[in-house]
Amino acid sequence: MVPTADPKEDKVYAKPIDQLEAFEFNAKVADVFENMIERSVPGYPLILDIIGLTTEHFAQPNTCCYDLGCSLGASTLKIRQHLPISCLAIGIDNSSDMVERCRANVARDHSQAQIEIRQEDLRITRIENASVVVMNFTLQFLPEGDRDNVLRGISDGLVDGGVFLLCEKIKFDNSNQQALFEDLHLSFKRLMGYSDLEIAQKRAALENVLIPSTITELNERVSRAGFSRTELIVQCLNFVAILAIK
Ligand code: GEK
C-alpha cells in the first residue's frame, strides 16, 4: 500500500448534488483517492500485489518500468519495491492534484531503485527501454480513438521479453451477463459502505468519462499493438488484469 499519512474516507458523492459535473481527478478526489479506489474496485489490493510480483518476474536490469496513470503512486511504488536497483521506475499522471500527493507518498518510500514522477499526458509519453509497463485502470479514461496509438507506443518501447500489464473495468455484449455483473458490483459497493445516493451520483458523473471495453475488444487492441501473447491473469467481478507479452 502507499505509505499515505492518513487515508481519508471518500464522501465526495455522499450529499445530494444539484448540478452534477463530469468526474474529474481534482483535489477533492485526490484527497480521498486511496479509500475511493479500494472501496470501488473489487480486488484492487490483490491487483497491486500482482503488479509487484509481475514486476519481480519480468523487470530486467538497466531498464525502465512505467506506470501510466499513477494517481497517488500505489502501483508505482509496488513496481519500485520489486525492481532491480539498476532500474528506473517512472510514474506518469496528468492530474496536478494527483502528482503533488504522489510525490509526497514517494518521499515516504525508501526502496532503492530510482524513481521519477512526471506530470504529463500519457498520450505523449515516449516509452523507451522498458521491461514492464503498467496501466492500472487508466486506459478506460482515454478517448477510444487514442487507445490504439498508446498501446502501439508501449509495444514499440518494450525490450524483448518485456510485458504490459493492463487492468480495466470490463463490459459484456450479452445483456444478461452485463446485468449480473453490474448487480454484483453494486452489491460490492454497498458492502463497502457506499449509500445508494453515492453510488447513483458517482455512476452519473462517470458516464462518458470511464468507457469500458469487452474482454474481446481489449484482447484485439493488445494484439493489434504487436503483442504476441495475452493472458487473463485476474478477474474479480467486472474488473480484469491482462498480461501482454511482447
Ligand atoms: C492506482 N494506477 O492506484 N494522461 C495521464 N494520466 C491520465 C490520463 C492521461 N491522458 N487520463 C487519466 N489519467 C492507479 C489508479 S486512476 C483509476 C489510476 C481510477 C490518470 C488520472 O488522472 C488518474 O489519476 C488515473 O489516470 C486513473 O493503481 O480512478 O479508476
Q: What is the pLDDT of residues 69-97, one digit of tens each?
A: 999 999 999 999 999 999 999 999 999 99
Residue-level length of the chain: 246
CA 211 to ligand 1 centroid distance, Å: 13
- Inside any domain, residue 37: no
CATH number at residue 138: 3.40.50.150
Range in 5-19, 105-119, 170-184, 201-215 the model is least confident about: 5-19
Q: Put residue 162 in one of left, alpha, beta given phi > 0 → left and psi -120 to 50 → alpha.
A: beta
Residue nearest to atom 28 of ligand 1 (CA): 75
Q: How high is the pLDDT of residue 3?
A: 52
Report how many domains make up the chain.
1
Can you give the pTM of this predicted structure?
0.96
Ligand 1 pocket by Cβ (under 6 Å): 25, 37, 69-71, 74-75, 92-95, 98, 121-123, 136-138, 141-142
3-class DSSP state of 20: coil
Which of the listed residues 36, 49, 138, 168 should we mutate to test ligand 1's pocket, taking the one with most ligand atoms within 8 A of CB?
138
Residue nearest to atom 9 of ligand 1 (CA): 121
- Inside any domain, residue 18: no
Q: Put residue 196 in one of left, alpha, beta given phi > 0 → left and psi -120 to 50 → alpha.
A: alpha
- Inside any domain, residue 208: no
Q: Which helix (H) or strand (E) holds 12?
A: none
Q: What is the CA radius of gyration of the chain?
A: 17
Q: Which domain holds residue 56?
A: 44-171+213-245
- Inside any domain, residue 178: no
